[in-house]
Amino acid sequence: MNLQQAASAIREASAGGAVSLARVPGVYPASVKSFNDALFCLVRTGQGKRLAVAGPPGAAADFEGTVVEGVKICELDAGNAAALREAFPWTAPVTIGRRASFGTGDRLGVCTPGHLRAFSRFEIFPVLAQQSMRELGRTGRTPRQVIDDAGWGAFEAGYAGTFAADADHIKQADEAVSCYRLGFTMFTIDASDHIDLKAVHLEDDEALERFEQLGGHREVLDRYLGKSWSFSKGGLKFTIEFSAPELARCALVYHRAVEHMALVYRELSAAAGNSVEGFDFEVSVDETETDTTVRDHLFVAGELKARGVAWQSLAPKFTGQFQKGIDYIGDLDEFERQFAAHALLAEKLGPYKVSVHSGSDKFSIFPLVGKHTGGFFHLKTAGTSWLEAVRVIAAHRPELYREMHRFALENFGKDRASYHVTTDLDSIPEVGTLADSDLPALMDKVDSRQLLHITYGSLLSVRDESGEYLFRDRIFRVLYEREEDLYSNLDRHIGRHLETLGTAAK
């Protein structure tokens, strides 16, 4: 249907009210809403999705658009997204507070309605908008688009619940504040650049000597030396104490990171008018080489508290490998031992949530995450939704998939540099030898999953000699045409995550 036809069908149907409007082909039935004596809906047309408003002139005065056949047709742009948030406040992200939560990074900006189908079955707070600055660079999107796309997706799905927006892996205070101003509600502070892991290996004497030169080292001594913290729950029981050199090393490793997080927190608080409920703060120390010990965890928590920081979740670095888009690799017993201890600390020192990053497809640890937190956790996924989109392409545009696959093979060497992955390209069959019907199954195998996962940025941004996107437009076109397949893939796959985590059903 073209715009003209859609508009005239909407005008006619709207005379019969919301129910009749919801039956117009192309109109997303759940999106039909009334506001200001007008009927609003999202409609699919040959030219893309549009917001359509049928009603008295002036009913949608805050929305930019053109009147076609008596219906105001509006682009899904930034100005209209802002107007949408005013008219329908549930399309704007809000804070999570003390609730279990699950992040679905949507690198394409078209996955939210599929994610919401999965969330509709589980008691968990969705973080529908979640994007790291690094990902944005790779996908050519802006932080504002991430929020807007989630809002449009919520509107399309008729989701009138709450959701959050996570400014993920924030490194600088100014990034955090500018994301806050755009409407992000959760801030994940990656302090890895300020963690001095080399200090772990210092000899006692040198550690003590360097510790004494640290600002505030007296206060740190007072807070920890000669004290002990005992934790017990079920069969788990442990005590944390610091010897002087242990404390010195811990302080040397984390001192700057803690200062940095406190600085970002203060700037955010100021931006939020010093309201503690104004944003969710996640402390992340996971982007390091060594596992976070319970002593590290207690120290970081104690130092942040001493600086007046309040946080909702903390992401330790766990044993094993959290490679992108595939299951956990590592010792499950050791993971469980570490995870249970961190979860107990988070419960007793907070309560706050333990956060698991790179949570896509970590099915073997999900039951442990659910069990040891009593369901009170935060988990982040992102790449897995992109891979579900690739699965749609493999199923419906085999030639496009093969092109993408071959391009990914050529670029893998370069793109893998910023990831830790153990992908074995040799184990991936040559796509030319596979039948079309065998292509989607590549998204079930570790090596081909990683091949397509790691190269998403190149695939979405590469252009040909004439400056046209090589894949991007075609990717979005297939996903638009095959939207229902995309949504049902996402529903199934994110649903499997939530089910395996043991999240309570609605």
Q: By CB under 5 A, name the binding residues for Zn ion.
A: 286, 357
Alpha carbon of residue 198 to chain centroid = 30
Smallest gap, in angstroms, from Cβ of residue 318 to Zn ion? 11
**Catalytic residue from among 168, 190, 286, 361:** 168
Annotated catalytic, 212?
no
**If DSSP states are collapsed to H, E and C, what string results for 213-251?**
CCCCHHHHHHHHCCCEEEEEECCEEEEEECCHHHHHHHH
**Catalytic residue from among 166, 282, 286, 415:** 282
User: Of 280 and 286, which has the nearer Cβ to Zn ion?
Assistant: 286
Beta strands at 353-356 and 313-315: parallel, antiparallel or unpaired: parallel
DSSP character for 231?
E
Enumerate residues 6+ apart whose C-beta is below 8 A from 194. Answer: 256, 257, 259, 260
What are the two backbone dihedrals, phi and then psi, of residue 308, each rounded to the nearest 5 degrees? 80, 15
User: Of 316 and 398, which has the nearer Cβ to Zn ion?
Assistant: 316
Annotated catalytic, 282?
yes
At residue 129, the 3 state secondary structure works out as strand
Smallest gap, in angstroms, from Cβ of residue 195 to Zn ion? 12
**If DSSP states are collapsed to H, E and C, what string results for 343-359?**
HHHHHHHCCCEEEECCC
Smallest gap, in angstroms, from Cβ of residue 357 to Zn ion? 3
Beta strands at 280-284 and 313-315: parallel, antiparallel or unpaired: parallel
User: Of 63 and 322, which has the nearer Cβ to Zn ion?
Assistant: 322
User: Of 24 and 283, which has the nearer Cβ to Zn ion?
Assistant: 283
Please report, to the nearest 10 degrees, the dihedral formed by the alpha carbons of residues 439, 443, 447, 453 taken in order: 120
Enumerate residues 6+ apart whose C-beta is below 8 A from 444. Answer: none
User: Of 148 and 286, which has the nearer Cβ to Zn ion?
Assistant: 286
Smallest gap, in angstroms, from Cβ of residue 96 to Zn ion? 18
Enumerate residues 6+ apart whose C-beta is below 8 A from 233. Answer: 344, 347
Give the C-alpha separation, 443 to 103, whole Å.
Answer: 21
Residue nearest to Zn ion (CB): 357
Helix residue ranges per DSSP H, 121-243: 133-139, 143-157, 173-182, 204-212, 217-224
User: Of 151 and 359, which has the nearer Cβ to Zn ion?
Assistant: 359
Smallest gap, in angstroms, from Cβ of residue 388 to Zn ion? 21
Smallest gap, in angstroms, from Cβ of residue 380 to Zn ion? 7
Length, in residues, of the chain: 506
Q: Would the CA dihedral through 385, 390, 396, 397 be positive or negative? A: positive
| Residues designated catalytic | 168, 282
